[in-house]
Structure 1
Amino acid sequence: MLTPNVIDISEQCSTANFSKLKSEGVKSVVIRLGVGNVQDKRAVEFIKNAQEAGLIVHGYHEYQEGVENQIYWSIQNAHKLGLSNNAYYFLKVRSNKNIEDVFRPFYRNWKMNRWNVGLYASVTEFNNFNSDEFERNDIYKWAIKTDDQSIEKMNLLNIGFQNGLGNDVDVSGKLIQPIEDRQLTETDPNKEYQVSSGAFVGFDYSTTSIQGGKFLVASPDGINKIPKLGPDGSFMFNRDDGERILKLIGAEFVPKIRINKNTLLKAPADYSDGVFYEKVFLDSFQIKSIQGKLGILTTKVIVDDNHCYARQQLEVVDSKKPVTLMRNGRDNVWDDWNYLFGDEENARSD
C-alpha cells in the first residue's frame, strides 16, 4: 500500500494541521500559489505554517484559460510569496488546448528563474507528450494514480483526497529532499569586454542568472548581455523582436483585440512591456454610461528599473457620441480615471 509523504493544498482546504501531518510521515507540501492572475487566498498562511512545522515547501500554479500574461504574473507571484530557488514549481492545466503547448513557455521561463519545474496531468496525457523533450529538460511528472502500468514512469502520484488535502507519493524522492539554494557563480569571465548599446549581437557569456558557456546574446544597454538562444535550442523573442521580424518578412502586424473578463483584477505589473488591446464591459470598471456599455481598453506598458509604468485609455464604442477616459498606473496601483472628451454626463467614474 502506498503511503503519502507529500500533500498538496489550496484555499479550498478549510483547515490543515501541518505539525500533525509531519508526525504522520508527510515531509513536504505543494501549495497552490495562484489561479490565472489571482493569488490563492491562503497561500501566505499555508507557506508560513508549513515552514514552521518543518515541512519542505513547493508550489503550483493553476492555469486559467483566457487570462493573458499568466507566465509573467506567475513568476512575480512566486517571487512575492518567497518560493525558494530550486524548489519545484508545478503547472496544473485544465484546458481544451494542447496541454504540451500551454506548458512549454511556462517551463522555459520558470527554469530561467531558477526553479525546478513539473506538470500535473493524467497518465494518458503524459504518454502522448514528447518524452525526449521532457527527459532532456528534467520535467517532473505529477499524475493521478490509475491502474495503468505506465504510472511507474511518473515522479509524483496523487492517490486521493481527504478533507480537502491531496495525498501524494513522491516516487523519485526528490520533493522530500532539503532544498539547496545554490549561489550564483561567475557567468561572465570576460566582463571587461565592452559592448555597444543596442548593437551587439553575438556569442558571449551571459550576465544574467542563466548559467552555462557562451550564449547567443544581445546587449540593449551596453552593460548587460541577455541570452537570445534558449537552453532547449529555441530563440527567445520579446514583443519588439516579433514586430521587427514581421516587418522584415513583409508581414503586417495587426494588434488583436482580446476578450478578457478579468481585466478589472489586473494591476499595471500584471502586464509586460508592450501595447495591449482588450474588449471590456464598462460595469466591470464601475463606470456609469447611459448610452454605452462596451469599450476598447488600450494599455501601454513600460518596465524600467524594476518598476512597471502603465497608461490605460478606455473608449466607449456603443455610445452615440465619442467618450474616452484615461488613467495612469504604477506597479500594483491604478490612479483614478480622468474624463478626456465626449458626453461627460454619459461617462462618469464612481
Structure 2
Amino acid sequence: MLTPNVIDISEQCLTTDFSKLKSEGIKSVIIRLGVGNVQDERAAKFIIGAKNAGLIVHGYHEYQDDVENQIQWSIQNAHKLGLSNNAYYFLKVKNNKNIEEIFRPFYRNWKMNRWNVGLYAPATEFKNINSAEFERNTIYKWTVKADNDQLNQKMDLLSINSLNGLGKDVDVSGKLIQIIDANESVETNPNKDYQVSSGAFVGFDYSTTSVQGGKFLVASPDGINKIPKLGPDGSFMFNRDDGERILKLIGAKIVPRIRIDKNTLLKTPADYSDGVFYEKVFLDNSRIKINQGKLGILITKVIVNDNHCYARQQLEIVDSKSPVTLLRNGQDDAWKDWNYLLGDEENAGAD
C-alpha cells in the first residue's frame, strides 16, 4: 500500500493544519502559485504555514489556454512569493494535445531561473513525450495513480486522492522530500577587470541579470549589463528588439492576437509585463455604462521602469451604433478614471 508523504494544495482548500499533516508523515508540500496570470489567493499564506511547520515547499503553475505571457508571469510570481532556488516548480497541464510544446519553453526558462522542473499531466500523455529529453533535463514526472502498474513505475510522483483542494501524493523518487539547498550566494560578475563595449560585446561571461549560474554567452547593449543569449539547453534567447529585427528581415507581418480572459477588467497595471496586449472585453458585469454595446477590444500598452509599471488602456466598443472609445492611465496597482476619447454616455447608443 502506498503511503502519502507529500501533499499538493490550492486556494480551494480554505484552511489546513500543516503541523498535523507533518505528524501524519507528510514531509513536503506542492503549493499552487497561480493559474494563467492570476496568483492563487492563499499561496503566500500556505507557504508561510508550511515552512513554519517544517515542511519542504515546492510550487506549481496551472496552465490556462488563451492567456499570453504566462512563462514570464509565472517566473515573476514565483520570485514574488519566494519559491526557493532548487525547489521543484511544476507545470500542470490538463488534456491538451500539445502538452510537450507548451511545457518545453516553461522548463527552459524555469531552469534558467534555478528551479528544478516537473510536469503534471495525465499518465497516458507521458508516453507521447520525448523521454530522452526528459531524462537529459531531469524533468520530474507527476501524474494521478493509474491502474496500470507499468505506467506507475515510470512516474516520479503519484497522486492518490484529492478533496477540497488538498491532494495526497507519494514521492516515489524521494526527490521532493530532500532538504533544499538554496545556494543563494552566486557570484554574478566576478570578472571586472576589463571595459565592456556598449552594443558590441558578445562572449562568454557571468550574467548580471536574475538568470544566474556559470558563464553564459552574453551581450551588452548598454556597456554595463550583460544579458544571456544562450540557454542551458543550447537554445538561443531573443528579446523583443531581437524579434523585431528578425521579423523585418524575413518580411513577416505582425498580427496581434486577441486574448480572452474573464478577469481582464479586474487586472491592475502590475499584472502586465512590458509590451502591448489586445484583449476581448465583455461589459455586462463591468462598471462601464454604455447605452448600447456590451463588447469591446481592450488595448493595453505597458512600460516597466525602475520597479514601477506604467500603463495606458484604450477600450473600443465594437457593437454600439455610434463609435465609443475610452482611455485611461494607470501605475502599479491602480488605474485612473476612464475618459471618453470618442463618444460619450449620452450618445453611445444613438442612431
Map 1:32-181 onto structure 2 (within 5 A): 32-146=32-146, 147-161=148-162, 164-181=165-182
Bigger shift: 8-17 or 186-195?
186-195
Alpha-carbon distance between aligned partners in 2 of 1:62 and 1:298, rounded to the nearest angstrom? 25
TM-superposed CA distance for 1:245, in Å, is 0.6
In structure 2, give the amino acid aligned to 1:242. G
Alpha-carbon RMSD across the aligned residues, in angstroms, is 2.3
Map 1:167-206 onto structure 2 (within 5 A): 167-206=168-207
Alpha-carbon distance between aligned partners in 1 of 2:109 and 2:339, rounded to the nearest angstrom? 36
Alpha-carbon distance between aligned partners in 2 of 1:88 and 1:232, rounded to the nearest angstrom? 18
Alpha-carbon distance between aligned partners in 2 of 1:273 and 1:88, rounded to the nearest angstrom? 27
- Deviations along 1:18-75, one digit per CA (max 9) or x if unpaired, are 2121111111111112222222222233222222211111111111112222222222
Count of residue pairs brought into register by the alignment: 348
Partner residue of 1:224?
A: 225
SS at match of 2:284: helix
2:290 and 2:345 in contact (8 A); partners too? no
Alpha-carbon distance between aligned partners in 2 of 1:315 and 1:93, rounded to the nearest angstrom? 33
1:281 aligns with 2:311: no
Partner residue of 2:310?
A: 309
Partner residue of 2:270?
A: 269
Gaps of 5+ in 2: none
SS at match of 2:346: helix
SS at match of 1:96: coil
TM-score using structure 2 length: 0.91
TM-superposed CA distance for 1:164, in Å, is 4.8
In structure 1, give the amino acid aligned to 2:21. L
TM-superposed CA distance for 1:347, in Å, is 5.7
SS at match of 2:329: strand
- Deviations along 1:306-341, one digit per CA (max 9) or x if unpaired, are 222211111222233332211112223222212223
In structure 1, give the amino acid aligned to 2:36. G
SS at match of 1:91: strand
1:298 and 1:313 in contact (8 A); partners too? yes
Alpha-carbon distance between aligned partners in 2 of 1:227 and 1:236, rounded to the nearest angstrom? 7
Map 1:206-221 onto structure 2 (within 5 A): 206-221=207-222
1:9 and 1:164 in contact (8 A); partners too? yes
TM-superposed CA distance for 1:210, in Å, is 3.4
1:69 and 1:270 in contact (8 A); partners too? no
Judged with a 3 Å threshold, the aligned counterparts in structure 2 of structure 1 residues 257 and 165 are, in CA distance, closer, same or farther, namely closer
Partner residue of 2:18?
A: 18
Bigger shift: 8-17 or 83-92?
8-17
- Deviations along 1:181-215, one digit per CA (max 9) or x if unpaired, are 20233243433432333444444432234345543
Alpha-carbon distance between aligned partners in 1 of 2:164 and 2:70, rounded to the nearest angstrom? 29
Alpha-carbon distance between aligned partners in 2 of 1:278 and 1:89, rounded to the nearest angstrom? 28
1:30 and 1:57 in contact (8 A); partners too? yes
2:34 and 2:74 in contact (8 A); partners too? yes
In structure 2, give the amino acid aligned to 1:288. K
Alpha-carbon distance between aligned partners in 2 of 1:9 and 1:99, rounded to the nearest angstrom? 22
Q: Percent identity?
A: 80
Alpha-carbon distance between aligned partners in 2 of 1:36 and 1:145, rounded to the nearest angstrom? 25
1:29 and 1:56 in contact (8 A); partners too? yes
Alpha-carbon distance between aligned partners in 2 of 1:45 and 1:187, rounded to the nearest angstrom? 31
TM-superposed CA distance for 1:346, in Å, is 4.3
Judged with a 3 Å threshold, the aligned counterparts in structure 2 of structure 1 residues 82 and 206 are, in CA distance, closer, same or farther, namely closer
Partner residue of 1:3?
A: 3
In structure 2, give the amino acid aligned to 1:229. L
Bigger shift: 58-67 or 36-45?
36-45
Alpha-carbon distance between aligned partners in 2 of 1:347 and 1:192, rounded to the nearest angstrom? 65
In structure 2, give the amino acid aligned to 1:13. C
